[in-house]
Amino acid sequence: MALGLLQRLYLSFLILAPFGGEKEDVHADMLSIETRSFIASTDHDFICATLDWWPPEKCDYGTCGWGLASILNLNLSNAILLNAVKAFSPLKIRLGGTLQDRVMYKAGEPQQPCSPFVKNSSHIFGFSEGCLPLSRWDELNDFFNKSGASIIFGLNALKGRVLLQDGSVGNTWDLSNAAFLINYTVAKNYSIAGWELGNELTGHGIGARLNVDQYVADVTVFMDLVNATYQGKPARPLVLAPGGFFHIDWYSAFLNKTKPGSLDVLTHHIYNLGPGSSEHLIDEILNPSYLDGCASTFSNLKEIIRRSNKSAVAWVGEAGGAYNSGHHLVTDSFVSSFWYLDQLGMSAKYDTKTYCRQTLIGGNYGLLNKDTFEPNPDYYSALLWHRLMGTRVLSFNYTGSNMTRTYAHCAKQSSGITLLLINLSGNTTSQVAVANGSDLRREEYHLTARDGDLQSQVMVLNGQILSTGTNGTIPTLKPIIIQDASPLTVAPYSILFAHFPSFYAPACT
């Protein structure tokens, strides 16, 4: 009885204390869920995050946001980092980024020095060629094994190429160095979930570009290499490509020209908020029409895969909201969870199987703070999605405002369903009645910013500040329990996950 009263008082506080200090509206909305079938599906480990190659000298708009957070220099012994990855069990981690096409893999013998990246404006991407020592590869794999991470590694697709004046490249791909790393990895019995070829070399490319026929030829050879290397092994890693920005004509031609069985995953990158220097990022994040603008990317990609009759599936291989390292106190603050969770829901609805966030740590869009390793708000949003939103995506009819973004999935590792509601409005509370379902008792997870500050880097769950404990432990994410069929209450500038464990949906059985 007392607990129920406290829960009601907390919900009343959310409604009666609008963050903007203005008079607040309350909208009564209705949500009706299609329970008989699901419309799309994701991987069980849909949530993915990236690690990048950028050194501390990487700067954007006068801000150097990377510090010691790259694949080459990240402190792998940090307890928060280990616990943050372990909390997902598993977290997919993609190792890649712009400089991956400038990385050599070396044993580190004295006669073959393994040099780091050096800033040099005369080089492609603004940095010299760098090197991954096998000793560092060993350290990374030890960390991945301890944390239970599932690894996707992006390989150098420009090895042996010559960059031409128009940005295109000549010569064929030299796969010898990639083969060296793959063979070493197999010999050491390191577990790799997937190998990806190239980064942002499609279409116009970023610094360099490959035409469709070149990429198709490379991927065919690449698949042959992976098949041969893993022959007789219990499982072959996925082969992924091309990791570029989606252009419908380029992607259509690429997929149509690939041989059946030569590609498992079609990856693309998306930064729908524009440059990190923009002064309008928060306005864009809170604008539902702007958020809807990237739906065509997901729907068009789904359609060209369907038309191709190929078995490849779609992944978002990299997405950080705002490109060029993001924007401090936007893409690493509470307001970022509005676009991030919305895009997770939107991409899943169009059959995207995995979504990789740029980054796990590094830049101004990391799930973890690059200096303290403390989780930023988006980390907790990702973790709640991972634990609550199942693989099957449900259709529904929602009568409310488009300022409340709504997604429905079968529950994760549990019976029933989970709803995600995101209120983009600062002065309107949504009270959402669920129209169908035999039992509407539920577990609720209300996410808000500390002190109502959208640019806060502190996440609040059901009125409690989330922070790591002693020895870097990740806090327990506890719901409040609602024992009746009252409407869902989504306060201004807040996010709600609601798990209905007894909601009967044949699509989820």
| Angle, in degrees to the nearest 10, between helices 134-147 and 79-86 | 60
> Confidence band (pLDDT; 50, 70, 90) for 371?
very high
The separation between CA 313 and the C-alpha centre of its own chain, rounded to angstroms, equals: 16
Neighbours of 284 (CB within 10 A): 19
Please tell me the distance from the alpha carbon of residue 413 to that of residue 436, in angstroms, as a whole number. Answer: 22
Amino acid identity for residue 477 in this structure: L
Q: What is the pLDDT of residue 167?
A: 87
Q: What is the pLDDT of residue 165?
A: 86
pLDDT of 440-457, one tens digit each? 899 999 999 999 999 999
What letters, b where the CB count within 10 A reaches 16 and e where it falls short, cover 81-119? Answer: bbbbbebbebbbbbbbbbbbbbbbbbeeeeeeebeebee
Residue-wise pLDDT tens digits, 244-262: 999 999 999 999 999 999 9
pLDDT of residue 269: 98
User: What average pLDDT does this structure show over 79-84?
Assistant: 98
pLDDT above 70: residue 10: no
Q: Per DSSP, what are the bridge partners of residue 162?
A: 170
Q: What is the mean pLDDT of residues 208-220?
A: 96
Find residue 448's DSSP bridge partners.
460
Dump pLDDT digits (tens) for 378-414: 999 999 999 999 999 999 999 999 999 999 999 998 8
Residue of 173, 55, 194 lying closest to 125 (CA atoms): 55
* pLDDT surpassing 60 at residue 28: yes
pTM flag (> 0.75) = yes
Partners of 106 in beta bridges? 133
Average pLDDT (22-32) is 83
Q: How many CB atoms lie within 10 A of CB 36?
A: 10
Query: Mean pLDDT lowest for which of 54-68, 100-114, 331-345, 430-444?
Result: 100-114
pLDDT of residue 108: 63
The pLDDT score that the predictor gives to residue 442 is 96
How much is the pLDDT for 127? 95
Question: Is the pLDDT score of 346 beyond 80?
Answer: yes
CA 276/CA 243 separation, integer angstroms: 21
Q: Where in the chain is the domain with CATH 3.20.20.80?
A: 47-391
Provide the pLDDT for residue 15: 43
Q: Report how far residue 403's alpha carbon sits from residue 390's, in angstroms, rounded to the nearest whole number.
A: 24
Question: Residue 184: phi, psi to the nearest 5?
Answer: -60, -45
Q: What is the pLDDT of residue 14?
A: 53
Per-residue pLDDT, 503: 94
pLDDT band at 26 (very low <50, low <70, confident <90, very high): very high
Is the confidence at residue 227, as pLDDT, over 70? yes
Q: Mind listing the pLDDT tens digit for each residue in 277-319?
A: 999 999 999 999 999 999 999 999 999 999 998 999 999 999 9
3-state SS class at 260: coil
Q: Are 31 and 371 in contact (CB under 8 A)?
A: no
Whether the pLDDT of residue 154 is over 50: the answer is yes
Q: What is the DSSP letter of 132?
A: E
Q: Residue 170's pLDDT is what?
A: 86
| Alpha helix segments (H runs only) across 132-247 | 134-147, 176-187, 212-229
To which CATH superfamily is domain 2-40+394-508 assigned? Golgi alpha-mannosidase II (2.60.40.1180)
Q: Per-residue DSSP letters for 58-111?
A: --BTTB---SS-STTT--TT-HHHHHHHHTTSS-EEEE--GGGGGEEEE---TT
DSSP 171: S
CA distance 250 to 418: 37
Q: How does pLDDT run across 167-185, given as a tens digit for each residue?
A: 899 889 999 999 999 999 9
Using alpha carbons only, how large is the chain's radius of gyration in Å?
Answer: 23
What is the residue-averaged pLDDT of the chain? Answer: 94
**Is residue 375 within 8 Å of 113, Cβ to Cβ?**
no
- SS3 label, residue 299: helix
> Does residue 111 surpass a pLDDT of 90?
no
d(Cα 96, Cα 255) in Å, to the nearest integer?
A: 22
At residue 12, the pLDDT reads 53
Q: Is residue 100 a contact partner of residue 155, using CB atoms and an 8 Å limit?
A: yes
Length of the chain in residues, anyone? 509
pLDDT-wise least confident of 14-18, 270-274, 318-322, 426-430: 14-18
Q: What percent of the chain has pLDDT over 90?
A: 88
pLDDT of residue 3: 44
The dihedral sign for the CA sequence 371, 372, 375, 377:
negative
Residue 262: half-sphere exposure toward Cβ, Cα within 13 Å: 18
Quote the pLDDT of residue 420. Answer: 98
The 10s digit of each residue's pLDDT in 115-133 is 999 999 889 899 999 999 9
CATH class of 47-391: alpha beta
Residue 206: the pLDDT is 87
- The pLDDT of residue 23 is 57
In the chain, CATH 2.60.40.1180 sits at 2-40+394-508
In whole angstroms, what is the distance from residue 20 CA to residue 459 CA? 18
Q: Give the residue numbers marked as catalytic.
A: 200, 318
Q: What is the DSSP letter of 236?
A: P
